[in-house]
């Protein structure tokens, strides 16, 4: 069966990456693309790298245009998709790359986003570990099977959650003193023109932003870490914009639980991802580069134990637009539809 697909927000960065991956997916056919200010334009004028989709014209982003497709991917600014998805009457599977359906807590939504809080959907990070009250560890992919509504993750949020969930689920680290600092590329901020994202403001410099606990991905990380078994995760989160168009390199540290040996700590990560196609723990002493994940649906991770500090140090790299958004969305959609999870996705990056 070929699933008919629409992508809303197809003129933007996340929409463009969804289309790049969907164009190669054997079970999906992109029939409709929509934009906002670009509606009426040829898609190719906004996404000149998507040659195989040059026949498509951007339609207005309206429920009537999107209804009737088997699968609709949303890549709209937060606040825009929640309103629209509520109006859908005939869409088998909807996947939102925006934040509108990610948070379960309306207090968190009010504090970090504001405006109407929409219902939470199944979270689109299949490898994420979940620990039940009985101590049994499962994966988020189990909740995605047969799902009809999926919230793809925030790119920084999934990088950090994947980095720390193994240690929390295994009980080898504590979650009350987590520190994470991320080097991030400006494509994470979208395509809309903003002065601080001009080349002149970015080239040759590293610019911290959202310093001091204000970044919107913090409650999403806490939600994921609670799911992995953390009681009340406390996290200091500092992103730094660096001059690479795509990519996230997140360095996360947390205290090792009392009495836990260094080998047990590393083992928790190795075991957690040993059977995963898209999350790889590198051999001891090796740490990832963002360049090796570009265009791939892969998260690479290096794990070290800083014994003098009593902390684990996890360095994770992924492509914010691929595994961080569009790849996660498609991987989750594959699971929801009962397709092989890896369909249409590559572990190989584009380097240098």
Ligand X SMILES: NC(=O)c1ccc[n+]([C@@H]2O[C@H](COP(=O)([O-])OP(=O)(O)OC[C@H]3O[C@@H](n4cnc5c(N)ncnc54)[C@H](OP(=O)(O)O)[C@@H]3O)[C@@H](O)[C@H]2O)c1
* 325: contact with ligand X by CB under 6 A: yes
Span interacting with ligand X, options 72-80, 101-109, 256-264, 275-283, rule CB under 6 A? 72-80
Nearer residue to ligand X within complex by CB, 137 or 240: 240
Closest CB 12 distance from ligand X, rounded Å: 2
Span interacting with ligand X, options 102-110, 130-138, 171-179, 187-195, rule CB under 6 A? 187-195
**Where is 249: in which H helix or E strand?**
strand 248-255
**Where is 109: in which H helix or E strand?**
helix 106-112
Report the b/e string of 89-128 with b at 16+ CB within 10 A.
eebebbbbbbbbbbbbeeebbeebbeeebbebbbbbbbbb
Closest CB 104 distance from ligand X, rounded Å: 18
* 82: contact with ligand X by CB under 6 A: no
Nearer residue to ligand X within complex by CB, 253 or 320: 320
C-alpha–C-alpha distance, residues 36 and 15, integer Å: 12
DSSP of 82-98: HHHHTT-SS-SEEEE-S
Instruction: Single out the catalytic residue among 43, 155, 175, 249.
Output: 155
One of 3, 5, 6, 11 touching ligand X (CB under 6 A): 11
Residue 166 contacts residue 273 (beta carbons within 8 Å): yes
Nearer residue to ligand X within complex by CB, 37 or 308: 37
C-alpha–C-alpha distance, residues 88 and 261, integer Å: 52
Residues forming beta bridges with residue 294, ordered by sequence position: none
One of 23, 31, 36, 207 touching ligand X (CB under 6 A): 36
Nearer residue to ligand X within complex by CB, 31 or 36: 36
C-alpha–C-alpha distance, residues 15 and 9, integer Å: 5
Closest CB 216 distance from ligand X, rounded Å: 8
Sheet hosting strand 71-74, strand order edge to edge = 58-60, 28-35, 3-8, 71-74, 93-96, 149-151, 122-123
* 320: contact with ligand X by CB under 6 A: yes
Q: Could you give the angle at the alpha carbon of 71 between the alpha carbons of 151 and 77, nearest 5°? A: 45
DSSP of 18-47: HHHHHTT-TTEEEEEEEESTTTTSBHHHH-
* 38: contact with ligand X by CB under 6 A: yes
Q: Where are the alpha helices (DSSP H) in 170-236?
A: 199-202, 218-227
Site for ligand X in 139-168 (CB under 6 A): 154-155
Closest CB 83 distance from ligand X, rounded Å: 9
Using CB under 6 A as the binding criterion, the count of chain residues that bind ligand X stands at 31
One of 56, 75, 241, 256 touching ligand X (CB under 6 A): 75
Mask: binding to ligand X, 190-229, rule CB under 6 A, as x and -? xxx-------------------------------------
299 is catalytic: no
CA 293 to chain CA centroid, Å, is: 14
* 47: contact with ligand X by CB under 6 A: no
Site for ligand X in 84-143 (CB under 6 A): 97-99
Q: Name the closest residue to ligand X (Cβ).
A: 12
Closest CB 212 distance from ligand X, rounded Å: 21
Nearer residue to ligand X within complex by CB, 320 or 334: 320
Nearer residue to ligand X within complex by CB, 219 or 324: 324
The four Cα atoms 166, 159, 147, 346 give a dihedral, to 10 degrees, of: -100
Q: Is 146 left (phi over 0), alpha (psi -120 to 50) or beta?
A: left
Binding site for ligand X (CB under 6 A): 9-15, 35-38, 61, 75-78, 80, 97-99, 154-155, 187-188, 190-192, 320-321, 324-325
> What is the set of active-site residues?
155
């Amino acid at each position: 069966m070929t699933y008919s697909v629409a992508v809303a927000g197809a003129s933007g960065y996340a929409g463009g990456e969804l289309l790049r991956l969907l164009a190669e997916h054997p079970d999906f056919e992109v029939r409709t693309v929509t934009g906002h200010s670009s509606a009426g334009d040829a898609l190719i004028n906004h996404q000149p790298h998507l040659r195989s989709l040059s026949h498509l014209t951007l339609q207005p982003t309206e429920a009537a245009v999107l209804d009737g497709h088997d699968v609709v991917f949303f890549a709209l600014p937060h606040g825009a998709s929640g309103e629209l998805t509520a109006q859908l009457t005939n869409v088998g599977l909807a996947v939102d790359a925006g934040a509108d359906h990610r948070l379960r807590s309306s207090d968190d939504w009010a504090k970090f986003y504001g405006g109407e809080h929409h219902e939470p959907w199944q979270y689109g990070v299949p490898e994420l570990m979940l620990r039940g009250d009985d101590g049994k560890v499962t994966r988020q992919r189990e909740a995605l099977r047969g799902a009809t509504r999926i919230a793809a993750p925030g790119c920084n949020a999934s990088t950090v959650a994947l980095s720390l969930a193994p240690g929390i689920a295994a009980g080898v680290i504590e979650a009350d003193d987590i520190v994470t600092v991320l080097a991030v590329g400006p494509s994470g901020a979208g395509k809309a023109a903003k002065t601080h994202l001009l080349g002149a403001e970015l080239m040759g410099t590293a610019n911290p932003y959202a310093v001091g606990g204000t970044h919107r991905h913090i409650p999403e990380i806490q939600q994921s870490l609670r799911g992995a078994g953390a009681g009340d995760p406390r996290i200091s989160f500092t992103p730094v914009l660096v001059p690479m168009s795509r990519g996230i390199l997140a360095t996360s540290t947390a205290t090792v639980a009392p009495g836990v040996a260094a080998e047990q700590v590393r083992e928790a990560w190795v075991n957690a991802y040993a059977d995963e196609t898209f999350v790889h723990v590198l051999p001891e002493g090796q740490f990832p580069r963002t360049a090796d994940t570009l265009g791939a649906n892969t998260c690479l991770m290096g794990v070290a134990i800083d014994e003098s500090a009593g902390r684990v140090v996890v360095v994770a790299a992924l492509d914010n637009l691929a595994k961080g958004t569009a790849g996660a969305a498609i991987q989750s959609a594959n699971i929801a539809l009962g397709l092989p999870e890896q369909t249409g996705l590559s572990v190989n990056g584009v380097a240098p």
